[in-house]
Amino acid sequence: MDNKRRATLEIEKEEFKKIGHQLIDKIADYIDHIDNHLITTNKSNLEIKSLLGQGRLPDTGLPVIDIVEKATELLFDNSLLNGHPKFMGYITSSAAPIGMLAELLVGAVNPNVGAQLISPMATEIEKQTIQWLAEFIGLSKDYGGILVSGGNMANFTAFLAARTAKGPSIIKSDGLLAFPKQMMIYCSKNTHTWVDKAAILFGHGANSIRWIPTDNSNKIDLDLLEQAINTDIRAGHQPFIIVASGGDVSTGTVDDLKALGKMSKKYDLWFHIDGAYGIPAAVIPELKPIFDGIEEADSLALDPHKWLYSPLEAGCTLVKNSKHLTDTYSSHPEYYNFKKEGDELTQNYYEYGLQNSRGFRALKIWMALQQVGRKGYEKLIGDDIALSKLLYQMADQHSSLEAISQNLSITNFRFIPVDGHQYEDDYLNTINETLLNELQAGGEVFLSHALVFGKYCLRSCIVNFRTTEKDISEIIDIIVREGSKIHEALSVK
Ligand SMILES: *Cc1c(COP(=O)(O)O)cnc(C)c1O
């Protein structure tokens, strides 16, 4: 008799293989047929809830095969398919299949990438991934960083490093209240809501944010920014960080990074770039000029789970000098003895961010970067941008559509009824809002919305390696067809 414990949680080898193979077969079919399905279920939340059933937590176990089959069916039939070629809502990408395999492997090895001692190879892979990501967007490979759950966390991680670097040390020992000056944050009015969360949660308060208006190219207005900084200094406040958009969520606009970098230096402020969505576009040589100045950044946020196609979750904070992360996040309790004697190379990621135990997010990014390489990503991202431009052109040329903006892979446009009437923005906003909801519910195409210069727009963000030119022209037809129906319905009322 062998000495195995045979715990109920164990799955016997042959059964594991059988169930695993079946699951892989189903996933392969699901991916292969993803465009045959509606993008999202038209069932209500209540229907979904009742499909799941109100079963109680079982006292004793069920067969693994049944559990896996049921979960597969529930999820495949009742999820929003962001891998569908006509999904272009929000900024959620199609997941790279190699990332799915990576996740399985990660679960098998289960390294805890909080400390190198307990994740020797995984830590090295994360270090290499960080280096590659820095090089990918044109920075020196000496940048440090850490992988986190997403853009919000990547920005938070940098925000706190900025505060440590630019604030007085009394904050670390006695807290913000011990510092009499209000520490001020500057960003354009288009900046993602993470700034709000950060200011509130980290004790600065929402009023510490100066939301600077944008100029007519939708970039942060540099004169107004400088005025705001000076006004705050005169009022006795302490400015500490400028946050630039490296592709804002509504329109994809990239701020003037070079000028912001300069201004940060002039006033001794931390310069952070939120490139969660847009910064991977810096891999494309022709787009380099848009990102001119990224090398000025003290920190950047980038989301591999957006334009690098990692399955959720994967965000990344990059910093020019890793010391700013360890200054902020490292503390050495007695019971942590994670440094191998004499091993200077040890890197313990718990000292670089908020988490202690950490999952192995790097693998899926590292694998995809190797699968397609820099050139592959250049093409993937470039094709998304070309499709977005095509959508803009087709909207521009269509009499029932108005093209509003196009940057990176985000296009904003709206439906306009053509019946000889001149419609006010109020009505156009109503019709487009109704249209968006109809389109989302219909499941043929999935867009989101943006308010651009007061206009309610249909917003498409293509971070989708399955979308084709044919999809774009079909999307145009669907939108015009549905828009006309809604306009008719609204007109007879
Ligand atoms: C998506 C996004 C975020 C938030 O990222 P999550 O991954 O959703 O947490 C922040 N900033 C920008 C510019 C984004 O595009």
Mean of the pLDDT values across residues 304-313? 98
Mean of the pLDDT values across residues 351-357? 97
Architecture of domain 111-359: 3-Layer(aba) Sandwich (3.40)
Measured in Å, residue 92 CA sits from the centre of ligand 1 at 10
Q: Which amino acid is located at 398 in the chain? A: H
Which is the closest atom of ligand 1 to the Cα of 275? Answer: 13
For 430-440, give one letter per residue: b (16+ CB within 10 A) or e.
ebbebbbeebb
Percent above pLDDT 90 for the chain: 92
Distance CA 132, CA 146 (A): 12
408-461 pLDDT, tens digit each: 999 999 999 998 889 999 999 999 999 999 999 999 999 999 999 899 999 999
Measured in Å, residue 314 CA sits from the centre of ligand 1 at 11
108-155 pLDDT, tens digit each: 999 999 999 999 999 999 999 999 999 999 999 889 999 999 999 999
Architecture of domain 373-492: Alpha-Beta Complex (3.90)
Judged on CB neighbours under 10 Å (0-12, 13-18, 19+), 14 is exposed
Which is the closest atom of ligand 1 to the Cα of 151? Answer: 5
With 70 as the cut, is the pLDDT of residue 336 above it? Answer: no
pLDDT at 107: 98
Measured in Å, residue 310 CA sits from the centre of ligand 1 at 14
Give pTM, 2 decimals: 0.96
Which is the closest atom of ligand 1 to the Cα of 91? Answer: 1
Distance CA 364, CA 305 (A): 10
User: In this structure, what token pair is assigned to residue 344?
Assistant: 């200077």
- For a ligand 1 pocket test, name from 197, 249, 354 the mutation site with the most ligand atoms within 8 angstroms of its C-beta: 249
Strand arrangement, sheet containing 401-407: 401-407, 410-415, 455-461, 448-452
Q: How many CA atoms lie within 13 A of 22 on its CB side?
A: 14
- The residues lining ligand 1, judged by C-beta closer than 6 Å to any ligand atom, are 91, 150-152, 192, 194, 249, 274, 276-277, 303, 315
The structural domains of the chain, with segments of one domain joined by +, span: 13-39+41-79, 111-359, 373-492
- For a ligand 1 pocket test, name from 90, 92, 192, 254 the mutation site with the most ligand atoms within 8 angstroms of its C-beta: 192
pLDDT at 344: 64
